[in-house]
Amino acid sequence: MKVLVTGGLGFIGSHTVVKLIENGDEVVIVDNLYNSKLEVKDRIKEITGVECPTYVIDVQNKEELTKVFKEHRVDAVIHFAGYKAVGESCVKPLEYYDNNLNSTLVLLEVMRDYKVHNFVFSSSATVYGEPQRVPMYESDPVVEATSPYGETKVMIERILKDYAKVDKEFNCALLRYFNPIGAHKSGLLGEDPNGIPNNLLPYIAKVATGELKEVNVFGNDYDTVDGTGVRDYIHVVDLAKGHVLALNKLKTNPGLVIYNLGTGKGTSVLEMIKAYEEASGVKIPYVIKERRPGDIASSFANCDKARDELGFTCDFTVLDACRDGYHFQVEESERKKKAK
Ligand code: UD1
């Protein structure tokens, strides 16, 4: 299969490209480098031995995108490209709606022009908003999200559902990710956000390497195992595998399908810090702070549907993810020092 991957140089995108290549698929990458680096392309080659055709263009640029579809007879598209910072989206809502919605619409139009019918969309557990229950099921209501970023996911899901109703040839998997963490075991691919990380694992990683002093634990009075927030952390390589399985499913012409991709297990912030200490052998200092506005106590997936319909199961534990994430962070910090 020839698969076009938008945002293919980003965190989840790059791991998915590797999995696709390992699966024997041909990959074409489109990425505007907004939150990624061109050298990731070389790292993918180092891991797989394959150099993917890579186009540094914006998905919103219909003319440029059309050229890519002209040059490659694409069978399917996986759409990762998009803005994803929750806090930033509250400050720049117009930019978030403009970029995330328009890029998807342009992509769908070009796909329609070139009769490409298979589409995988990076959605998020954020579409469940404040969950009515945990674990969350795909059949749970999609509600108003707690941020403009989250709302773009809700809106794009809606657009895709409406489109699937009228285009009977259109196959689409909405993949609702829980909390992706970890890195490729080579230490070549991982998550290294610019500036101070917002998400827990990148933050812990920078405390582990001494770049930040201590972890701020946002609240210890939630109704959870130890009072700290509980999330479903999934190794990014497992998540990447979920995309290959979703593409297999689309080959059976299912129309629009929805899957949670998580582990089905919740881990608290303090449990996560402990796991990271165990995996890295480094002490992680932390302080308890006020709750972070907009946070929920607990979020974890029911993944039975992905297991039963896709054959999706996770190979890695939270401890594995901490080990791989730490390995990547150490290697990346070394690489940055050398480059200076
Ligand atoms: C966040 C987003 C979600 C997005 C996901 C991407 C919010 C409200 N939600 O999820 O939409 O899809 O990232 O992975 O931002 N924590 C700390 N200290 C920190 C950072 C986090 O204690 O420095 C805690 C949080 O309170 C939470 C847990 O760690 O309990 C996980 O937080 P985070 O990694 O930011 O992910 P989510 O908030 O679940």
pLDDT of residue 193 exceeding 90: no
Average pLDDT, the chain: 97
Q: How far is Cα 292 from Cα 296, in angstroms, rounded to an integer?
A: 9
**Å from CA of 53 to ligand 1 middle:** 34
pLDDT of residue 241 exceeding 90: yes
Three-state DSSP state, 28:
strand
pLDDT digits (tens, 9 = 90+) for 96-141: 999 999 999 999 999 999 999 999 999 999 999 988 889 999 999 9
Would you say the CB of residue 218 lies under 6 angstroms from ligand 1?
yes
- Tokens, residue 124: 């998020």
Q: How many CA atoms, within 13 angstroms, populate the side-chain half-sphere of residue 292? A: 15
Phi, psi at 10, each rounded to 5°: -80, -175
Q: What is the mean pLDDT of residues 257-272?
A: 98
Ligand 1 pocket test: which of 83, 91, 212, 269 has the largest number of ligand atoms within 8 Å of its C-beta?
A: 269
Q: Tell me which residues are annotated as active site.
A: 149
Q: What is the mean pLDDT of residues 151-171?
A: 98
pLDDT score recorded for residue 277: 98
Q: What is the pTM of this model?
A: 0.98
Under 8 Å between Cβ of 85 and 146: no
Under 8 Å between Cβ of 99 and 82: yes
In ligand 1, which atom is closest to the CA atom of 124?
12
Q: What is the mean pLDDT of residues 326-339?
A: 94
pLDDT digits (tens, 9 = 90+) for 277-326: 999 999 999 999 999 988 999 999 999 999 999 999 999 999 999 999 99
Under 8 Å between Cβ of 65 and 59: yes
